[in-house]
Structure 1
Amino acid sequence: MNENILVIGGEGKNGRRVVEKFRNIGFSVFSTTRTKEEVKTGLVFFDWNDGSTYEPAVSNIDKVYIVHPDTSVPDAYEQINLLMSCMEKKGVSKAVLLSGRGQESVRKCEGILINSPLKWTIIRSAWFNQNFSEGHFLHGIQSGSVTFMAGSAKEPFVDLDDLSDAVVECLLHEKYNGKIYEVTGDELFTFEEAVKTIGNRLGRDIKYHFLNKKEYSDLLKNIGLPHFVAEHMAVAFDEILDGRNENTGSGIQEILGRSPKKFKEFVKLNAFN
């Protein structure tokens, strides 16, 4: 329990759950902030777009959970490569990387860990249940209309409580070193089916609207995203929503020795407000 653990992205949906779980079991855990003025006990300054912040952030740290905003963007490789070099220099012993499923564009980033002298674990995660309750699709759930570019392909949505439990286990225990896990739920739903399940639970008619890649990219631009960001997001989503991930992984069972939380259980436990 005298190990210092850093969670990069520790204020996000996934990261904050990992931080909370470590604190609950008595570990010294730090989260990152991109705002210097917010630095306080338990927070360190770190900005993916400023390489000079990497080394100070990992000083006196033993293990790191890496959550990059998007490991499929071209800059991610250089950023994670520099981060791992800083970690090696400062004596960090282990890294766990949150990665994507079915994305060839993220494999270069995974390779940085695989070829590193540090101990490592890679977790390839499915879409989160919580994208519907506190993330990407919540506004649509609340307004009665969810718009996205997922068609008929099914997704094994994973609950963030399961994912964060798996991350904590992988950081704590050596038996997970050098392994890649597919962390998913054990059921498959289309996004439209997921939205309908939530609507039924709330007693509301929530519509799902499918847009193709160009239509969704245009939508993102119209709501203010920069052209290159909108284009990249549409291409990345098109890659992972083509049916290649229409299967379940066994990561939760292998790491935690239990079945993943059911999507309908997640829906039952949330008010979506």
Structure 2
Amino acid sequence: MTQNAAGTANTQRMTVVVTGASGRTGSRVAEAARGAGLAVRAASRARGFDWEDPTTWAQTLRDADAAYLMYPSDVGSPAAAEGVGALAREAVGLGVRRLVLLSARGEDQALPTEEALTSSGADWTIVRASWFSQNFSEGPLVEGMVHGELVFPAGEVREPFVDVRDIADVVTAVLTSGDRYVGRTLELTGPRLLSWREAVAEISGATGGTITYTPVPTRSYGEALAGFGVPPEEVELLTEVFDTLMDGRNAHVTDDVREVVGRAPRDFADFAREAAAAGAWKA
């Protein structure tokens, strides 16, 4: 058997647990992993896995080879550091040493969660992602855009928006590359910088309609979240995170997507065109 054939055979025998398998990144990671020949074990509440109930973890992790960890609220929350650390230690104890964590690029609040993983004894890789392109087409921002306006506390800062399909391709490549990316922290970005205003303008052009961007102070945005019933502790965390991330610290691109998958990251214009064609912003 050639080395390449052996690698393929090993990949086909690999079972990866994908947390958040019905979510924005997890669903794409599951799809990409299956496409690469991995056996995917979807971890969600519907399948008996609950981040808040450690008694559900072992049945999901047992006999797996690797896991993709995506904490369901914010990776910068104290609960994330506690949960990721505890799950990572349990995974290692069960022989699941290969763990890939989705983190947030430039988010200081996420560092304790990353440390919880790196100190767990796992063979870890951290994937720090920029703001997702799909945050514009999936999730709470969509409703306002459907009605013609995105209100958000990003000012005029520029961001290298990353397509979640690129995150999924990177995670899958990391898992199928042996030890090559063990102990690495990868920063994933799109190929160019856009302000939120420019991103909304590209989406508006793709839809053929008119969507405007209205920047607001972080405090005002937090008050609006509270008015929608978001718990006070979550509002406090989110406003703190937005204040951190929207200071321009992420206004540069990296080459990590190309390094791992051997091609340029997907462009925001392609995302906008495809999402518009799929009806993402139709009323």
- TM-score, reference length from structure 2: 0.90
Aligned counterpart, 1:145: 149
Is residue 163–residue 183 contact of structure 1 (8 Å, CA) maintained in 2?
A: yes
Kindly provide the CA deviation profile for residues 42-74 of structure 1, in whole angstroms up to 9, marking residues without a partner as x. xxx221111222222211111000001211111
- The equivalent position to 2:231 in structure 1, one of 217, 226, 235, is 226
Residue 24 of structure 1: how far off its partner (Å): 2.6
**Secondary structure, counterpart of 1:157 in structure 2:** coil
Distance across 2 between alignment mates of 1:57 and 1:232 = 30
**Secondary structure, counterpart of 1:259 in structure 2:** coil
- The equivalent position to 1:256 in structure 2, one of 254, 261, 273, is 261
- The equivalent position to 1:247 in structure 2, one of 245, 248, 252, is 252
- The equivalent position to 2:131 in structure 1, one of 127, 130, 133, is 127
- The equivalent position to 2:92 in structure 1, one of 88, 94, 116, is 88
Moved more, 47-56 or 154-163: 47-56
Aligned counterpart, 2:213: 208
User: Percent identity of the aligned residues?
Assistant: 35
Distance across 2 between alignment mates of 1:180 and 1:81 = 17
Residue 26 of structure 1: how far off its partner (Å): 3.1
Matches within 5 A, 1:152-163: 152-163=156-167
Unaligned runs of 5+ in 2: 1-11
Question: Which runs of structure 1 show a deviation greater than 6 angstroms over 4 or more consecutive aligned residues?
Answer: none
- Does residue 1:79 correspond to 2:83, yes or no? yes
Superposition CA RMSD, Å: 1.3
Aligned counterpart, 2:204: 199
Distance across 1 between alignment mates of 2:20 and 2:207 = 31
Distance across 2 between alignment mates of 1:147 and 1:16 = 27
Is residue 157–residue 251 contact of structure 2 (8 Å, CA) maintained in 1?
A: yes
Residue 208 of structure 1: how far off its partner (Å): 1.1
**Secondary structure, counterpart of 1:270 in structure 2:** helix
- The equivalent position to 1:60 in structure 2, one of 63, 76, 87, is 63
Unaligned runs of 5+ in 1: 40-44
Distance across 1 between alignment mates of 2:234 and 2:121 = 33
Kindly provide the CA deviation profile for residues 77-119 of structure 1, in whole angstroms up to 9, marking residues without a partner as x. 1111110111011100300000011112111211223233221
Is residue 181–residue 250 contact of structure 1 (8 Å, CA) maintained in 2?
A: no
Aligned counterpart, 2:272: 267
Is residue 33–residue 47 contact of structure 1 (8 Å, CA) maintained in 2?
A: yes
- The equivalent position to 2:23 in structure 1, one of 12, 18, 25, is 12
Distance across 2 between alignment mates of 1:115 and 1:33 = 25
Moved more, 113-122 or 236-245: 113-122
Aligned counterpart, 1:24: 35
- TM-score, reference length from structure 1: 0.93
Distance across 2 between alignment mates of 1:255 and 1:140 = 35
Aligned counterpart, 1:185: 190
- Does residue 1:172 correspond to 2:183, yes or no? no
Number of positions where the alignment pairs a residue of Structure 1 with one of Structure 2: 265
Distance across 1 between alignment mates of 2:204 and 2:135 = 15
**Secondary structure, counterpart of 2:27 in structure 1:** helix
**Secondary structure, counterpart of 1:252 in structure 2:** helix
Residue 166 of structure 1: how far off its partner (Å): 0.4
Distance across 2 between alignment mates of 1:187 and 1:166 = 18
